[in-house]
Amino acid sequence: MSSKKLVIAIVNSSSFGISYPEHLRKLEEFADLVRVDIPNDAPASVFHEKLHMADGIIASVTPVYTREVLLGLPKLQLLARHGVGCDNVDLITCAELGIAVSKVGPEVERESVAQMAVGLMNASVRRIVEGCSIVKAGEWAKRAKISLGVDFKGATIGLVGIGAIGKTVARILTLGFQANVIAYDPYVSAEEIKARHATKVEFDELLAKSSIISLHCPLTSETSRMFCAKQLAAMNDWTFLVNTCRGEIFNQGDLINALESGKIGGYATDVVEGEPIGGDHILLATKNVIVTPHLGGYSVVSLRGMGETMVDDMCRVFVENKFPGVIANEAINLENSRISKFRKTGRLD
């Protein structure tokens, strides 16, 4: 370790600074960088041992930063989420301790994740992965045994959540495929949803009418286990499900039962509860399932933008004494934080 004052830890990120090493070089101008891997099930003591020296953390979707973890990180001033969601961070404790939490703005990832969602949708309903497998196995003639696909044109496709990513998916499906898009989002008005190329419906109506359902909601206390046996049973037979938000939206056991029984036509997901998962995960052995390793933001434009956001947030706080670009816990009382001090004095140090 050099004599530089600041330490920035890059935690559980397999992408930050890899495709764009210039992001690392920019941070190294004013801080020491350390890469840290922490298992999902690690006790708080492991966090404290590996991160006690960190002034800033660039955080991936894992692990979970609980209150117990955060209480043992006395130097931490900025936790920057290398992504949009902050469900793995205790925002209230961060605010209480004066730790600002920043995140990537929705405009950075929306096109990339929306494209991924539509791609998964196509792959699932047209059995693209299955078709590729039989050709590679030299069994071309088996194509006649593959289930017939669903045409998007005229199909009713339901979106759960129609924020930045959901509305982009709606635009693609409506203008590009001429689908009939309906959306459930209690926080967006019918007029605004119409402007986003969809029709507002209640959740039960979405379940009953959709041939395909795509999830674009954050993981919160309201959406956790939003899809259990009751909701899956209320869907049309052979409905297809696409998930690019969080695996915890589903009760996994109920989902697997619905797939195995044939109630659900297919499940295509870029996210899994407890990720990263191994090759022996039960979901991978379930029929009509496609799982990708959280690739939604892995495009040239998105990954570069995410990295630039992390660099900008760190520079703003530690070099320029300014706010991060998007503060996830800004709405929480930060009276004793460095951010609050900046509001009062114009300085963060």
Average pLDDT of span 309-330: 86
Q: If one looks up domain 109-287 in CATH, what number appears?
A: 3.40.50.720
Q: Band the pLDDT of 5: cuts 50, 70, 90.
A: confident
| Residues 36 and 11 sit within 8 Å (Cβ to Cβ) | yes
- Which residue type sits at 221? S
Tens of pLDDT, residues 135-162: 999 999 999 888 888 899 999 999 999 9
Q: Band the pLDDT of 342: cuts 50, 70, 90.
A: very low
136-145, 172-181, 319-328, 330-339: segment of lowest average pLDDT: 330-339
What CA dihedral angle connects 133, 15, 323 and 63, to 10 degrees? 80
Say which residues have a Cβ less than 8 Å from residue 327's Cβ, sequence separation at least 6: 100, 101, 102, 339
Residue 285, helix vs strand vs coil: helix
Average pLDDT of span 32-47: 96
The interaxial angle of helices 128-136 and 106-125, nearest 10 deg, is 60
Say which residues have a Cβ less than 8 Å from residue 84's Cβ, sequence separation at least 6: 103, 104, 105, 106, 108, 109
CATH class in words for 6-103+299-345: alpha beta
Q: Quick check: 336 pLDDT over 70?
A: no
- Which residue type sits at 305? G
pLDDT of residue 8: 97
Which of 326 and 260 is assigned the larger pLDDT? 260
The interaxial angle of helices 106-125 and 164-171, nearest 10 deg, is 50
Give the span between the Cα atoms of 125 and 131, in whole angstroms: 12
What pTM did the predictor assign?
A: 0.86
pLDDT above 70 covers what percent of the chain? 93
Q: Quick check: 34 pLDDT over 70?
A: yes
| Residues 103 and 328 sit within 8 Å (Cβ to Cβ) | yes
pLDDT of residue 348: 47
pLDDT of residue 331: 52
Give the span between the Cα atoms of 215 and 303, in whole angstroms: 22
Q: Band the pLDDT of 273: cuts 50, 70, 90.
A: very high
Sorted by where each begins, the domain ranges of the chain are 6-103+299-345, 109-287
- Count of other CB atoms within 10 angstroms of residue 146: 12
How many C-alpha atoms does 155 have within 13 Å on its Cβ side? 22
For the chain, give me the number of helices (H) and strands (E)?
14, 12
Tens of pLDDT, residues 73-122: 999 999 999 988 899 999 989 988 888 899 998 889 999 999 999 999 99
Same CATH topology for 6-103+299-345 and 109-287: the answer is: yes
Residues in the chain: 349
Query: What backbone torsions phi and psi does residue 9 show, to the nearest 5 degrees?
Result: -100, 130
70-84, 171-185, 216-230, 316-330: segment of lowest average pLDDT: 316-330
How many C-alpha atoms does 122 have within 13 Å on its Cβ side? 11
Give the span between the Cα atoms of 6 and 284, in whole angstroms: 43
Residue 211, helix vs strand vs coil: coil
pLDDT of residue 4: 58
Catalytic machinery residues: 246, 275, 294
| Residues 65 and 38 sit within 8 Å (Cβ to Cβ) | no
Helix H or strand E encompassing 97:
helix 91-97
